[in-house]
Chains A and B, each alone.
Chain A
Amino acid sequence: MGFREYRVGSILFGVALSTSMMITLYMPSLDISGVSSTATALEKQLTYGKINAFDYGDLFLHGTDKPIKVILKKNPATGAVMDEVAAYVFKPGTSFPSGLKHDNILGDDVQALSVSLGKMNKATEAKGGVFLVSTKVTNGVETPYIEFATATRGWGVDATLKAASETILAGSGKTMFIREGCWWCHTLLPEETHDWQSFGRPPMLGDFNGESPTTFGSDRKAPDLLHVGSRNSSKEWMMLHFFNPRLVQPHSIMPRYDYLWGGKDAKGNVIDLNKWDVEFNAYRDGERVYPPEVPDYADDSEIRYLIDFVLNLK
């Protein structure tokens, strides 16, 4: 290379680059990894599963390999009526989120409680199982932890699914949210300068442990969705709005997601989008009094996943 200066320069270059990475990558990662999970983070992990993007379990992002969130009003083991609780069902083989697999994700206290009280480390992916988010209060401080209900309460996968009063496929829905690029318009990160009354509070440091990907979104062209389920919990509205946002909001720029119905409605009839369009245009131009009906979606349609996800954003 010639000059001695170039050798010195190359060394300086290496030193500068590694110092900057030390400060900007290594130190923050230590700091962030020491954060203790909140209950929100535990719920998110158990709802969304391992990864909601490209992964071995779901190469084409169809929302497979995801846990099922259920609402229970009676005890799956005994059948006795109990207070409503949300449980997270992992069918055998469903990938676990990283918090269930690795020791350094949940934060020390949460991890210790999940193992001692929650028997979390008894769970295996091959057998699956049912999980809960529970809390323990010590000296007035609430610590959330993951409870492996199959071990602690004897709740089996099938019994829990049968006892469920509501099934929420929000894990698959988050995959839809990512695949469909909702996050190019909507953020999942309300700001401190936002109107908290309408958008809800910004998230906290421990709200993200184990979530992947976080999809904050950066280019906001639409309302923040982090707490949208709290301000609008109508399935009907969501259905109309996703089929054609201009049905409920004439000035919306949101795309139509009618193709997520998958071509067939709940009764298995073929959906004729072109005919729908003609009727809708007639309605828009004032030639029809009512807009055409929006077809009901099938239970295993992608739009169902998405609506479950959106309404689950409380």
Chain B
Amino acid sequence: MIKYMLAKEKDIPGGTAALFFSFSAIMWFIIGTGLGSFNAAKLAFPDWFTHSYALQFGHMRQVHVMAVIFGWITGAFAASAMYVVPALGNTKLWSEKLGVWNCMMWNVGMAVGLSSLWFGMTSGREYSDFIWPIDLYIAFVMVTPLFVNIFMSIVTRRTQGIYTTNWFFAASFFMLIIVFLIGNIPEFFHLTGLNEAYMTWWFAHNVLGLLITPVAAAITYYIVPKVTGNPLYSHRVGHLHFWSIVVFYSTPAAHHLMSSPLPEWLKSFASVEGVLILVPAVAYVCNILLTMQGRWSMFVENIEIKYTITGVLLAIPLNMQGGFQQTRAINWYVHGTGWIVAHAHLALLGFSTFAEAAAVYYGIQTLTRRKLYSLSLANFHFWMLLIGFSLYWVSMTIAGLIQGAGKIYEVPYMDVVIAEHPYMIVRWLGGTLVFIGNWVWLYNMYMTVKAGEKLSVGVQPQDVAYAR
């Protein structure tokens, strides 16, 4: 990597930055899920690894969240944007060198940020836990170069129109910078009280709503038509998806605080806007699933499509939960329970992780022009992810319903803790499966780059997936 950081732009092979980002994203995914599994173990078996400041649950929980969101998910987004945008624009990445530096600075930022968080330097605000110097670093040193690179690659494209995927890439990375700068105003300028609390959730909502869901969707807009060979079902519906995200998605932030004493009009407004999120959601899911027409066999046969479509199918319960659990009628029951934890994992470990895993699998094969090293290992990884995730999701949903019942029927809290305990153990099992699966994935990807069969000119990975 250092070699390419100092090399001249023309000496760096195309796709280098995307490859670096892919592998660092996988590494962060392993670290993030490892921490997740360890945290889950601490909740199930609290007397495991005691006496230690560093290994206490409250010090590691946020490190898990941040490693996964900014190391894995956003890193994988960067990786996919860096090869998808040039491919769609029939051009090269605007600056491969900037991309390589970007990846290096990204990993440095994550390492410094996560260790400071781990050792207790926190802003005490959920999802914007990083202290403000790190927030500024993320906005200006990590995300801004990424945005500039992607945006300029779109501007210098050699095709006429801009495909749906690229609208999302360009808009989302830009919005991420804005969200970081505005969402952290309470820390930069010391805003206090309910303003601070509300902005915390404005930030959290928009990192999910303006970055993670749209970019994961953007990836599927690329992978599905590309791999199946079907054109996108409707560009109009794609428009509807994009514009309704821009208009609605950033508005319902207050629905995260339905039980707090925020102004009532704000909560009602947020709740209505929250239901409107179903517009982009339904448009998107229908669009992708209809694109699959006639090629559904690939859902079983092709590994990238298997990942992508699983992600899209998981987006259905995700959006149905998201649209309705924030209404007052339902929120009073599930607020603050494991149900919400399950929902968050449905979005991050379900929908978006599956979409990104597809993009990384596909990207590494096309960039190195090598066939996947082992399809069986890829399938193994898929099932580890899916089973692990399902165990997690089902157990936390049940635990959440138990907590909700405990809350409204005024059950003594201790009884709720006891009733939840089996589900805590299942959650740990699920997380561990995901963690183990990811090691297999890393191995498979490494071997693909090192020893995968070379693809001959003009052949796409999906064409030879079954050739021996």
Contact = CB atoms under 8 A, between A and B. Distances in A.
Interface of A: 1-3, 6, 12-13, 16-17, 20-21, 23-25, 28-29, 31-33, 35, 41, 50-54, 59-61, 97-98, 105, 178-185, 187, 189, 191-195, 198, 202-205, 207-223, 245-246, 249, 251-259, 273-274, 277
A52 B336 contact: no
Given A31-B266, A181-B61, A184-B57, A251 B417 contact: yes
B424 interface: yes
Interface of A is mostly: loop
Contacts of B120: 60-61, 179-180
Report the contact-size class of chain B (Cβ under 8 Å from the partner): 35 or more
A21 B414 contact: no
Interface stretch (B229-237, B256-264, B300-308, B445-453): B256-264
B354 to A, nearest CB: 23
Given A16-B247, A198-B410, A253-B43, A219 B336 contact: yes
A220 B192 contact: no
B166 to A, nearest CB: 11
Contacts of B61: 181, 184
B261 A2 contact: no
A142 B251 CA distance: 37
Given A207-B261, A208-B193, A253-B421, A181 B62 contact: yes
A214 B193 contact: yes
B413 A53 contact: no
B22 interface: no
B458 interface: no
Interface in B238-252: 243, 246-247, 250-251
A192 B122 contact: no
Given A32-B198, A53-B122, A180-B120, 6 more contacts: A31-B263, A105-B192, A203-B261, A214-B194, A251-B417, A252-B414
B126 interface: yes
A17 B175 contact: yes
B200 interface: yes
Contact of B197 (A216, A249, A254): A216
Nearest to B406: A195
B190 A212 contact: yes
A193 B246 contact: no
Nearest to B408: A193
In the A-B complex, the 5 residue pairs with the smallest Cβ-Cβ separation, listed nearest first, are A181-B58, A53-B124, A195-B410, A213-B124, A178-B124
Given A207-B261, A216-B260, A245 B46 contact: yes
B144 to A, nearest CB: 17
Task: Say whether chain B's binding surface is mostly helix, strand, loop, or mixed.
Answer: helix
Contact of B336 (A60, A105, A187, A245): A187
A253 B263 contact: no
A21 B250 contact: yes
Contacts of B126: 217-218
Nearest to A29: B195
A181 B57 contact: yes
Nearest to A251: B418
Contacts of B175: 17
14 contacts: A16-B247, A23-B269, A29-B195, A50-B190, A179-B122, A193-B333, A198-B410, A205-B263, A208-B192, A212-B193, A216-B257, A252-B417, A256-B50, A259-B56
A182 B58 contact: yes
B253 to A, nearest CB: 6
B135 to A, nearest CB: 11
A306 to B, nearest CB: 12
B256 A218 contact: yes
Nearest to B178: A17
Nearest to A178: B124
Contact of B200 (A28, A213, A220): A213
A153 B59 CA distance: 44
B62 A17 contact: no
B337 interface: yes
Given A31-B263, A204-B261, A209 B132 contact: no
Nearest to B247: A16
Nearest to B130: A54
A193 B407 contact: yes
A21 B261 contact: no
Contacts of A194: 407
Interface in B405-451: 407-408, 410, 413-414, 417-418, 420-421, 424
A6 B166 CA distance: 13
A30 to B, nearest CB: 10
B417 A253 contact: yes
A61 B121 CA distance: 7
A205 B337 CA distance: 23
Given A214-B194, A255-B50, A191 B259 contact: yes
Nearest to A51: B190
B261 A53 contact: no
A23 B336 CA distance: 26
Contacts of A185: 57-58
Given A219-B336, A219-B340, A222-B417, A205 B194 contact: yes
A246 B259 contact: no
Interface in B29-52: 42-44, 46-47, 50-52
Nearest to A195: B410
Nearest to B418: A251
Contacts of B56: 180-181, 255, 257, 259
A17 B59 CA distance: 35
B108 interface: no
A191 B246 contact: no
A224 B407 CA distance: 11
A24 B192 contact: no
A222 B99 CA distance: 45
B380 interface: no
Question: B52, B131, B197, B338: which has the most chain A beta carbons within 10 Å?
Answer: B197
B50 A258 contact: yes
Interface stretch (B154-162, B214-222, B382-390): B154-162
A20 B250 contact: yes
B335 interface: yes
A175 to B, nearest CB: 9
B207 to A, nearest CB: 14
Interface in B326-342: 332-333, 335-338, 340-341
